[in-house]
Structure 1
Amino acid sequence: MLLYSLFKQLTSPQKKTQNIAVERENNYFRDSSFKAKLVGKILDTASLKVRLTVGIAGVAALGMGGLAVWTSMRMQHILVSTNKENMKYIATRFPQDVKIYSEMIPLEEGAKRAIASLSTTDKLIWIKDAEGNITAKSQTLNTPEIGDTLLAVQNVPLIPQVQDLHGSYWLMCATPLQVNGINLGQLYLAHNITRDQVMFLNLMRSLAAATIIAIATMTAIIAFYIDRSMQPLKKISQLTATISADKLDQARISLEQAPSEVKELAETVDGMLIRLSDSWGHQRELLSNVSHELRTPLTIISGYIQSILRRSDNLSEMQTEALKTAASEADRTVQLLQDLLDLARLDSDRMQFQLEPIILNDLLHEVVGMAKQYSARIITLDLKPDIIAIKADSHRLKQVLLNLIDNAVKYSEPATPITLKLNRENDRAIIQLCDRGVGIPLQQQGRIFERFFRVDESRNRAGGTGLGLSIVKTLVEGMAGNITVRSQLNEGSTFTLSFPAQ
């Protein structure tokens, strides 16, 4: 167990393999949460892209919004100021005109004449005496629609101000009126600026809409620019996400057009990968050396134990049982070391595949014959009459099939048969190994090809190193094939090998 723990620490587990059954189970959850994940990614407040976009767009929006408000205020000021100056001119000239007219006609008639000369359809004038009675007014004020609205306004300010009167905009003010030292009451001035005000409000609406569109466009441009600027970081993330332990020596990050800070980060990551590659190489070398050095003495020990057992006439039953246990553990440890050596060769690309055309029909007959030599199990062949050939390493393919058969023997009842099937689907040769064993739990089917992973010990009749299926998968993929598993508890498992057919 100590040796097993040592090699388990030295050997890094491969990436989890997803199979068809687990993938189907997770499809529903992935589809139902895709939109939520997408929205969450876009609105992720912890994202640097979101923070930069919101920050820059917020400052820009504040600046453009402030400019729009200042522009509207200035335009309103210019619009009102022009009309205020005109009203001040009328308020200053009116007493002079009344004085001139009063030299020829009575003062009241002179005020009426002055109102008539200075009034237009948009500029209206009226006078109220000290009691609040209207003594003179513009002719237009006789129209009920206009007169009732303007004459009813109370508390008209001394400084001209805009009044919204039932949808019409009037600039109104009031000033004391004295002519020749006589107080004639209050002079009221009203200028209709509805047309100008409506134009101003429409312009403001257009300006507000343009500002919003400009802010939205600018935000999109900023987001696009930030996204483009962060592409080197995304590239680093994508490259590092695809790096595996067996390709550390080949993994390098190359960024030609990137900011100097990002290039510095890429160089740092490259340096880290080089150190990891060296460390992983030393670890694999240590694993290979330790496995090789331990295999020979353990093989010798196993041989001596077997020799003693063959001459066990003078041994007690307890001694014989102890030696059998020691021999079994020695053989198991030797097999573990052999598996570790195979994995070390595969990891370091030192295992060569002798690929050659192979007729699978003949090879499966040979494999079944070999399997029956060490197992009394019923192994049946289900072959199509067609000849199916592939290009593979016959020795390694036999190793794969024998390993799978041995695995089926361990995890199924002695009375149940094991079936080996061969057929062709399109341009693929399909080999299936079926048993009627205990099956594999669904949640564990995605991990059975990991190194040192073993199914629940309560279902494991024969133990094992947990390396067999990992080696099988690596060998199959090394011959351009792939392997999957489909299993149900208490009904059995089916391992499917697929290779390009010749």
Structure 2
Amino acid sequence: MNQINKIWQKIDPFSLRVRLTIGIAAFSTLGLGSLAIWTTWKMQQILINSHKYNIERIADRLPRDVQIYSAMMSPEQGLQKSVDSLINTNTFIWIKNPENKIIAKSNNWDELSDTAASELMSLTEMSVKPQVTKVKQRYFVLCGGSLPIKGNVLGNLFVVQDVTREQTMYLAMVQSLGIASSLVIIIISVAIAFYIQRSLKPLRQLSHMTEVISAADLPEAQLSIDKAPSEVKELAQTFNMLLSRLSQSWEQERQFVSNVSHELRTPLTIVHGYLQSVLRRQNNLTPTQLEALETAALEAEHTIRLLQDLLDLARADSGYLHFNIDPCVLNDLVIEVVGMAHKYSDRQIIIESTNQTIEVKADYNRLKQVLLNLIDNAVKYSEADTPVIVKLHQQGEEATIQVFDKGYGIPLQHQSRIFERFYRVDENRNRSTGGSGLGLSIVKTLVESMGGSVSVRSRLGEGSVFTISLPIS
């Protein structure tokens, strides 16, 4: 039962497979149902309607025979003679006068049980049209009407034929036909479901192939499906053309960002240098001029950092970002980074690590850039009286660096997107705090380029934990 529930939960009621299966099964049901109804009607024609016609013919003929025999003998003898001449196997006739007394009947009633015979004879009227009725586990075709003789109604005529064998056969055939039709519909539905599943396999392959394509794969991404229908192959070719256009657009965008960042960084660096030079001679400046120049220098410095970040990302996307991967001791690196952070902030930064020396293969300067970025974020987005904690430890074949802060925290719905470029969670993460929305994206790019991974865990009002994992050397 649990297995069935799991399979049922995996079924998508809006999928093409389910829709096609239901549609074809519905048409199959309609077709087989119509065939079953026609077959049932035909069987009834063959098995039952001939008996109805027979007793209807007897009911029509008996009054004429009574008139003929009554002319040659007494009415009572003519009536009985007419009844005896019309009876055959399983056919029973009787006549009741207006006082509901039997005045004539066929002489084959011993073929029926006493209970069935008495119940039939107790009937006071019958339909003029033959009908099938069940009496004491047996089936009879009943037909009746008045018996007029020479303008006078002699009584009521009752004609009955036992069709138990035929009706039982008919009902058994109807039941068997219903069961067989249901089984055929189920088998057809299951076969159709498997066939459709197999037919849609190329589409699923196409879907799986497109799922794993990333921006880095665009230049070489090609979808190819063997033994697929022509329509699916055409769809794959269309996808390939789309991927080619996306690759060209992506490459043009990266080239544009790289060129713009490179071309703007040099003149802005010169401008920033001139501004710093002028600020060093601030004795000749008015307070207004000094404030304007300090603002311009700050903005120039911020823009240079932004352009450098964009240039690093563009180089990483193009595969041109250079790394010097060498063995480095994380303990020394963390101490150096925390010392550098103390120069720019008076925040308390605590290092928690074991006495064990942890060595990894990484780019020392890039890893230092990553840690400075994370510590800078922790300082910016937490209260001034709370410490920032840097933990260093080794788990199996991985070295882990964790940066803890007791800041505002990051909402759960944003945690999966904070490593995206230019993504900011809220108004607290804007340019007033020096953020450009690229810091965490660069952290992720640099760490993954060195064979590691970075993740975040955060709760609102409690702070955040950024974890860097690197393979040990």
TM-score, normalised relative to structure 1 = 0.80
Aligned position for 1:240 = 210
Query: Following the alignment from structure 1 to structure 2, what is the Cα–Cα distance between the partners of residues 154 and 352?
Result: 109
The one of 168, 180, 192 equivalent to 1:222 is: 192
Aligned position for 1:449 = 419
Distance 1:96 1:278, change over 3 A: same
Determine helix, strand or coil for the equivalent of 1:248.
Answer: helix
Which amino acid in 1 is paired with 2:380? K
1:313-360 superposed Cα distances (whole Å, 9 cap, x missing partner): 211122122111111111110100000001101111222433333332
Q: Give yes or no for contact 2:56–2:143 (8 Å, CA) kept in 1.
A: no
Distance 1:297 1:155, change over 3 A: same
The one of 193, 205, 214 equivalent to 2:163 is: 193
Which amino acid in 2 is paired with 1:80? I
Aligned position for 1:124 = 92
Aligned position for 2:34 = 66
Query: Following the alignment from structure 2 to structure 1, what is the Cα–Cα distance between the partners of residues 385 and 130?
Result: 109
When structure 1 is superposed on structure 2, of 389-398 and 332-341 the one drifting more is: 389-398
The one of 243, 256, 265 equivalent to 2:226 is: 256
Aligned position for 1:465 = 436
> Residues 81-480 of structure 1: matches in 2 within 5 Å?
81-84=49-52, 108=76, 122-128=90-96, 133-138=101-106, 140=109, 145-156=115-126, 160-165=130-135, 167-174=137-144, 188-458=158-428, 462-480=433-451
Query: Following the alignment from structure 1 to structure 2, what is the Cα–Cα distance between the partners of residues 390 and 107?
Result: 126
Determine helix, strand or coil for the equivalent of 2:240.
Answer: helix
Bigger RCO (CA 8 Å, 6+ sep): 1
Determine helix, strand or coil for the equivalent of 2:419.
Answer: coil
> Residues 47-58 of structure 1: matches in 2 within 5 Å?
47-58=15-26
Which amino acid in 2 is paired with 1:52? L
Query: Following the alignment from structure 2 to structure 1, what is the Cα–Cα distance between the partners of residues 54 and 428?
Result: 102
Q: Give yes or no for contact 1:129–1:184 (8 Å, CA) kept in 2.
A: yes
Determine helix, strand or coil for the equivalent of 1:400.
Answer: helix
Distance 1:372 1:117, change over 3 A: same
Which amino acid in 2 is paired with 1:479? M
Deviation at 1:300, TM superposition (A): 0.6
Which amino acid in 2 is paired with 1:463? G
Aligned position for 1:485 = 456
Distance 1:170 1:396, change over 3 A: same
1:78-123 superposed Cα distances (whole Å, 9 cap, x missing partner): 1114535765897899999999999999774586578679868843
Distance 1:357 1:117, change over 3 A: farther
Distance 1:127 1:456, change over 3 A: closer
Query: Following the alignment from structure 1 to structure 2, what is the Cα–Cα distance between the partners of residues 446 and 185?
Result: 95
> Residues 9-28 of structure 1: matches in 2 within 5 Å?
none
Q: Give yes or no for contact 1:438–1:459 (8 Å, CA) kept in 2.
A: no
Query: Following the alignment from structure 1 to structure 2, what is the Cα–Cα distance between the partners of residues 316 and 407?
Result: 35
Determine helix, strand or coil for the equivalent of 1:486.
Answer: strand
Query: Following the alignment from structure 1 to structure 2, what is the Cα–Cα distance between the partners of residues 353 and 363?
Result: 17
Query: Following the alignment from structure 2 to structure 1, what is the Cα–Cα distance between the partners of residues 460 and 229?
Result: 55
Determine helix, strand or coil for the equivalent of 2:272.
Answer: helix
Unaligned runs of 5+ in 2: none
Q: Give yes or no for contact 1:377–1:418 (8 Å, CA) kept in 2.
A: yes
Determine helix, strand or coil for the equivalent of 1:457.
Answer: coil
Distance 1:156 1:411, change over 3 A: closer
Aligned residue pair count: 465
When structure 1 is superposed on structure 2, of 60-69 and 128-137 the one drifting more is: 128-137
1:458-502 superposed Cα distances (whole Å, 9 cap, x missing partner): 466622211011100111122222212223445432211122334
When structure 1 is superposed on structure 2, of 486-495 and 285-294 the one drifting more is: 486-495
Deviation at 1:204, TM superposition (A): 1.3
Q: Give yes or no for contact 2:141–2:160 (8 Å, CA) kept in 1.
A: yes
Query: Following the alignment from structure 2 to structure 1, what is the Cα–Cα distance between the partners of residues 381 and 95?
Result: 113
Which amino acid in 1 is paired with 2:455? T
Query: Following the alignment from structure 1 to structure 2, what is the Cα–Cα distance between the partners of residues 442 and 463?
Result: 24
Query: Following the alignment from structure 2 to structure 1, what is the Cα–Cα distance between the partners of residues 29 and 216?
Result: 51
Query: Following the alignment from structure 1 to structure 2, what is the Cα–Cα distance between the partners of residues 148 and 346?
Result: 103
Q: Give yes or no for contact 2:411–2:459 (8 Å, CA) kept in 1.
A: yes
1:371-419 superposed Cα distances (whole Å, 9 cap, x missing partner): 3344443333211122222232222211111111222232234444322
Query: Following the alignment from structure 1 to structure 2, what is the Cα–Cα distance between the partners of residues 165 and 144?
Result: 12
Q: CA RMSD in A?
A: 3.8
Unaligned runs of 5+ in 1: 1-33
TM-score, normalised relative to structure 2 = 0.84
Determine helix, strand or coil for the equivalent of 1:249.
Answer: helix
**Do structure 1's residue 499 and structure 2's residue 467 form an aligned pair?**
no
When structure 1 is superposed on structure 2, of 261-270 and 150-159 the one drifting more is: 150-159
Determine helix, strand or coil for the equivalent of 2:237.
Answer: helix
When structure 1 is superposed on structure 2, of 394-403 and 53-62 the one drifting more is: 53-62
Query: Following the alignment from structure 2 to structure 1, what is the Cα–Cα distance between the partners of residues 128 and 286?
Result: 128
Query: Following the alignment from structure 2 to structure 1, what is the Cα–Cα distance between the partners of residues 427 and 333?
Result: 33
Determine helix, strand or coil for the equivalent of 1:77.
Answer: helix
Identity of aligned residues (%): 51
Distance 1:172 1:411, change over 3 A: closer
Which amino acid in 2 is paired with 1:356? D
Which amino acid in 2 is paired with 1:321? E
